[in-house]
C-alpha cells in the first residue's frame, strides 16, 4: 500500500471508528465468487490488535500521532454460550481485553479501544435493558454506547450478503420502543444507514432530541451497483439531508467512510495507490459540507479501518484528512481530529496534557 511522509506528525488523533474481527469462519457460508466481494467490502477478513497496531503505529515512531481509538461494533466474537439476546456481550468482552493490552503501557501512551461501542437489538423493546446493563459491565468502564445499523436498499447488490437490516428499521414501532428504553441509559447511539435513507435518522433525531446520535460515514453516499455513476446527480439530495440533520443539536457526524467500496471514492479499489492529495480532492465536497453544516465541535474524522483500506492506507487516509482541514484554525483541528471524539465518547483521558 502507498506510503507518504506524515503531515503534521505531532497533531494528536483519536480514531473514533475502527473494527476488530475474524471473518474467515464466515466465508464458507458464501459461494466462492462472493469471497472476493466480501473481502473487498470489509477490507480484511482478519483484523485484530496486531493488524491495527501495524496500521495505526500507535505509540510507535513514524506514524500519525494516534493517542487513542474507539472500537465500533461489527458482529465479531459473539459469545455462543449466551442466548440470542445476550451473545453480543462477547464482542465487548473481547475488545475490553484488547483495550487492556494497550493500557499495559507496552505501547507508550497509545490507548486503543479506550471507548467501546457495542451492539444490542433495540427491537427487543424494554427487554433490551438487561442487555445494556451486561454490556456496560463487560466494558469495565470503557463501554460508551451501541450501534444498531439500519443500512438497507432495494438493490441487493448494494450491500451484499453480510448485511441484513430490514427496510425502515429506525421508523418501526418495535425499534422506537427499544430506543426509548435505551435513551434512559445516557449512552451514545451510532447510526449507520445509506444516503437515500437519511430521512429515517432525521426523524429519529427529532423524536429523541436528548439522545446523542452519531451519523457514521458522512451518511454513506452511494456509487455502487445501481447507484454507480450517480454521485453527482444525488449530491444535492445528500446535502439537503446533511443540512437538515445538522439542525438537530443532538446529532454529530463522522467524517470518513468515503473510501468504502459502497461510496466508490475512489472507484478502483482496493489499494490502488492513490495519493492523499487525490483522495482529498474526491472527498472535499462531502467533508467540507459536513464541517460547514455541523461545525468542528460536532464533527470528527474517522478511519473506518479496515473497511476503508479499499481506498487508502492508514497513513494516506489521515494525510488526506489533514489536507482537508488545512484551512481550519488550531482549535478547529483539535476538535476535528481528537476533541469532538474525546467529548462524545468520554475518552478525554487519552489526550495529552495541554
Report field, pTM of the whole predicted structure over 0.85: yes
The domain at 12-349 falls in which architecture?
Answer: Alpha-Beta Barrel (3.20)
Contacts of 125 by beta carbon, 8 Å cutoff, 6+ apart: 174, 177, 178, 181
Q: H/E element holding 111?
A: strand 111-118
Q: How far apart are CA 314 and CA 330, in angstroms?
A: 23
| Cα–Cα distance for residue pair 84/80, rounded to 1 Å | 8
Residues contacting 354, CB < 8 A, separation 6+: none
Residue 33 pLDDT > 60, yes or no? no
- For 50-95, the pLDDT digits (tens) are 999 999 988 788 899 999 999 999 999 999 999 999 999 999 999 9
C-alpha grid cell for residue 17? 471508528
Query: Within 230-275, where are the H helices?
Result: 231-246
**C-alpha cell of residue 97:** 481485553
Q: Is residue 144 within 8 Å of residue 116, measured between CB atoms?
A: yes
Where does residue 225 fall: left (phi above 0), alpha (psi -120 to 50 degrees), or beta otherwise? left
Query: What pLDDT does residue 274 have?
Result: 93
Query: What is the enclosing helix (H) or strand (E) of 299?
Result: strand 299-301
Length of the chain measured in residues:
354
Q: What is the pLDDT of residues 261-320, one digit of tens each?
A: 899 999 987 668 899 999 999 999 999 999 999 999 999 999 999 999 989 999 999 999
Cell of 55: 496500521
In the predicted structure, residue 344 carries a pLDDT above the cut 70: yes
Confidence (pLDDT) at 31 = 57
- pLDDT greater than 60 at residue 32: no
* β-pair partners for 138: none
Phi, psi of 46 (to 5 degrees): -130, 125
Domain boundaries, the chain: 12-349
Question: Tens digit of pLDDT for each residue in 160-218?
Answer: 766 779 999 999 999 999 999 999 999 999 999 999 999 999 999 999 999 999 999 99
The yes-or-no verdict on residue 25 having pLDDT over 80 is no
Handedness of CA 189, 319, 295, 349 (dihedral sign): positive
**What is the model's pLDDT at position 41?**
64
pLDDT at 107: 86
Answer yes or no: is pLDDT of 144 > 90: yes
Task: Output the nine-digit C-alpha cell for 314.
Answer: 492508514
What is the tens place of the pLDDT at every residue in 102-138?
999 988 889 999 999 999 999 999 999 999 999 999 9
Strands (E), 229-350: 251-255, 299-301
Q: What is the CA radius of gyration of the chain?
A: 19
Residues whose CB falls within 8 Å of the CB of residue 140, separated by 6 or more in sequence, listed in order:
96, 100
Residue 343 and residue 303 in contact, taking contact as beta carbons nearer than 8 Å:
no
**Residue 35 pLDDT more than 60?**
no
- pLDDT-derived band at 222 (thresholds 50, 70, 90) equals very high
Amino acid at each position: 500500500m502507498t506510503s507518504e511522509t506524515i503531515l503534521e506528525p505531532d497533531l494528536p488523533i483519536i480514531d473514533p471508528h475502527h473494527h476488530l474481527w475474524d471473518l474467515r469462519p464466515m466465508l464458507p457460508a458464501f459461494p466462492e465468487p462472493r469471497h472476493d466481494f466480501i473481502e473487498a467490502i470489509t477490507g480484511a477478513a482478519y483484523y485484530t490488535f496486531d493488524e491495527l497496531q501495524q496500521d495505526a503505529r500507535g505509540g510507535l515512531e513514524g506514524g500519525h500521532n494516534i493517542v487513542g481509538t474507539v472500537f465500533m461494533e461489527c458482529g465479531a466474537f459473539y459469545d455462543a454460550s449466551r442466548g440470542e439476546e445476550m451473545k453480543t456481550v462477547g464482542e465487548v468482552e473481547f475488545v475490553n481485553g484488547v483495550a487492556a493490552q494497550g493500557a499495559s503501557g507496552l505501547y507508550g501512551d497509545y490507548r486503543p479501544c479506550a471507548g467501546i461501542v457495542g451492539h444490542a437489538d433495540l427491537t427487543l423493546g424494554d427487554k433490551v435493558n438487561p442487555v445494556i446493563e451486561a454490556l456496560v459491565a463487560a466494558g469495565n468502564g470503557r463501554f460508551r454506547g451501541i450501534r444498531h445499523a439500519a443500512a438497507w436498499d432495494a438493490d441487493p447488490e448494494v450491500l451484499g450478503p453480510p448485511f441484513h437490516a430490514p427496510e425502515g428499521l429506525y421508523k418501526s414501532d418495535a425499534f422506537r420502543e427499544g430506543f426509548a428504553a435505551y435513551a434512559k441509559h445516557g449512552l451514545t447511539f451510532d447510526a449507520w444507514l445509506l444516503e437515500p435513507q437519511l430521512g429515517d435518522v432525521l426523524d429519529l433525531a427529532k423524536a429523541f432530541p436528548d439522545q446523542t446520535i452519531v451519523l457514521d460515514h458522512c451518511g454513506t453516499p452511494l456509487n455502487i451497483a445501481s447507484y454507480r455513476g450517480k454521485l453527482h446527480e444525488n449530491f444535492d439530495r445528500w446535502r439537503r439531508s446533511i443540512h437538515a440533520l445538522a439542525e438537530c443539536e443532538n446529532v454529530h457526524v463522522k467524517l470518513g467512510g468515503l473510501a468504502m467500496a459502497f461510496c466508490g471514492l475512489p472507484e478502483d479499489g482496493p489499494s490502488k495507490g492513490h495519493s492523499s492529495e487525490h483522495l482529498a480532492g474526491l472527498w472535499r465536497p462531502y467533508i467540507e459540507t459536513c464541517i460547514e453544516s455541523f461545525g468542528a465541535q460536532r464533527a470528527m474524522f474517522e478511519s473506518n479501518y479496515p473497511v476503508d483500506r479499499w481506498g487508502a492506507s492508514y497513513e494516506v487516509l489521515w494525510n488526506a484528512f489533514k489536507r482537508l482541514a488545512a484551512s481550519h484554525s488550531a482549535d478547529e483541528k483539535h476538535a476535528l481530529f481528537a476533541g469532538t471524539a474525546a467529548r462524545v465518547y468520554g475518552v478525554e483521558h487519552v489526550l495529552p496534557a495541554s
